[in-house]
Chain A
Amino acid sequence: MNIFTTLAVYFKYPFVQYAFIVGILIALCSSLLGVTLVLKRFSYIGDGLSHVAFGGMCIAMVLNLIKEKMIIILPVTIISAILLLKQGQSSKINGDAKIAMISVGSLALGYLLLNVTAFSANISADVCTTLFGSTSILTLTKGEVWLCVILSLLVVVIFVLMYNRIFAITFDETFAKSTGMNTELYNLGLATVIAVIIVLAMNLVGSLLISALVIFPAETSMQLFKSFKMVTISSAVISVVCAAIGLLIAILYGTPVGSTIVAADLVAFVAFYVISVIRSR
């Protein structure tokens, strides 16, 4: 059997189709917001939030709310996102340490909770799945897929409609505010959307690798493109292509999904970087 017939066979399974739909949508959303986060020097927030989401996940596991885990993870992450963004604005130096504290703290507490309550027989496997998302994308239920599709489409629509305002607060928040824009409200909205994306992305790449989805496509595009519009479009394309390639390789060769996608992103970054170096000679 050649690769294509093998893939055709795999794609008959609903769980493979689900994984593809969800994977590509999440990659798209995270790359759109990634441009703003990277440019506003907020990339670390993605990292911090993913650890918070891990903590939330552990609480859900201990409370035996695996099916309803979103009820816990989503609000916890959104609240943390708002707090972190506020922190990052008020005091740059102190904010940095506080973010590290929140993120490492929730990571440690989550793991501790799981161990103390001895909820599962195989803790290290559970933790590994949550951190690296090794198989969770292949075990999605129909409900989870729908939730993900609706939330992703919402993110994309909001992003397109708010594009000009997002540009304004990314480039110069003070100026935007002086022209009468309610920047606090938009930052709040931004924090909420970021939190939603991170919770969604946990299924795809696991909480440790989420920031790669947010940061890599944006940084890659900035190597080559000059305008905000092109950087945004290119990020979306790179992210979707890398997610698709990563998923295909993972399905064909049985590699872990999350790490394969991130590896594809890394290859794209190196390629763009090399091109930009050659071009600038």
Chain B
Amino acid sequence: MALIDVKELSFGYDNVEIIKKLSFKVDEGDYLCVIGENGVGKSTLIKVLLGLKKPYSGTIEFGDGLKPHETGYLAQQTLVQKDFPATVREIVLSGCQGFLGKGFFYRAEHKKLAEENMKRMNIYELADKSYRELSGGQQQRVLFARCLCATKKLIVLDEPSASLDHETTKEMYSIIRKLNHEGTAIVMISHDIETALAESKHVLMLNDHENFYGTVSEYKEWKGGNI
């Protein structure tokens, strides 16, 4: 059983179906890159996977102990976040939000989980610093640590390198690689096809007329025959 099993999924926006009958899987410890032209529906796919948007038809099955809403989501930084007055600790802890259930306050185990993940991302010494005083790379680490509080199994990233400089981008890819080696499955939307192919295990290419899903070498083969 895969973490996520997508079958015959059709979705779009404004009542226009942009992707028809898409099928793919994300296994435990997988690293899937989603590529394709701008506006082809990559971000919409992520929204559907995360349950932020309803598909028109098809099914998404969660397995291997992954429950819906147990996915860590890392999007591009928003304007609101750039100068947000909150400490690293407060932000990382907010990743435990899904465990609050009907309760109101975080418990000791949540605080411990937040500390563990700050240590894992090497930002523990920044715990009481303000988010807006951090560098871009450090902010990215904070968001990763928050993600890890929400999930151990799967992290979904939407164009994570879009607003980062070269060095920070490199650092981020190495964080993702490390997490993947430690067993977290990754689903990443990327513009940077070269890096995507170098880093990932599976590729999902969205296209107006034909989607592709397979391993990296299968993709290269398929692409070679298509040029």
Contact = CB atoms under 8 A, between A and B. Distances in A.
Interface in A139-159: none
Contacts of A227: 85-87, 90, 128, 130
A231 B105 CA distance: 19
B75 A174 contact: yes
A98 interface: no
A77 to B, nearest CB: 25
Contacts of B100: 164-165
B150 interface: yes
B150 A226 contact: no
Interface stretch (B1-9, B33-41, B91-99, B212-220): B91-99
A100 interface: no
B52 A174 contact: yes
A57 to B, nearest CB: 33
A162 interface: yes
B86 A228 contact: yes
A181 B85 contact: no
A167 interface: yes
A233 interface: no
Contacts of B80: 39-41, 170-171
B71 interface: yes
A52 B86 CA distance: 33
Given A179-B98, A222-B85, A229 B50 contact: no
B146 interface: yes
Contact of A162 (B68, B104, B133): B104
Contacts of B84: 39, 171, 228
Interface residues of A, number: 29
Interface string B152-184: 000010000000000000000000000000000
A229 B90 contact: yes
B85 A179 contact: no
Contact of B133 (A167, A171, A179, A226): A226
B73 interface: yes
Q: Is the interface of A mostly helix, strand, loop or mixed?
A: helix
Nearest to A167: B94
A279 B69 CA distance: 43
| Interface magnitude class on chain B | 20 to 34
A158 B78 CA distance: 27
Contact of A175 (B68, B73, B86, B128): B73
A172 B105 CA distance: 18
B76 to A, nearest CB: 10
B129 A226 contact: yes
B122 interface: no
A165 B87 CA distance: 16
Contacts of B150: 175, 179
A179 B87 CA distance: 21
B48 to A, nearest CB: 12
A174 B50 CA distance: 10
Interface string B98-142: 101000111000000000000000000000111001000000000
A181 B86 CA distance: 21
B51 interface: yes
B94 A231 contact: no
A167 B85 contact: no
B81 interface: yes
Interface in A161-190: 161-165, 167-168, 170-172, 174-181
Interface string A213-237: 0000000011001111101000000
A87 to B, nearest CB: 17
9 contacts: A164-B97, A175-B75, A176-B97, A178-B50, A178-B73, A180-B51, A180-B69, A227-B86, A227-B130
Interface of B: 50-52, 68-69, 71, 73, 75, 78-81, 84-87, 90-91, 94-95, 97-98, 100, 104-106, 128-130, 133, 146, 150, 156
Given A165-B97, A226-B87, 11 more contacts: A161-B104, A164-B105, A168-B97, A171-B91, A172-B75, A174-B73, A178-B156, A179-B150, A226-B133, A227-B87, A231-B85
Minimum-distance CB pairs A-B, first 5: A180-B69, A226-B130, A179-B98, A228-B86, A178-B73
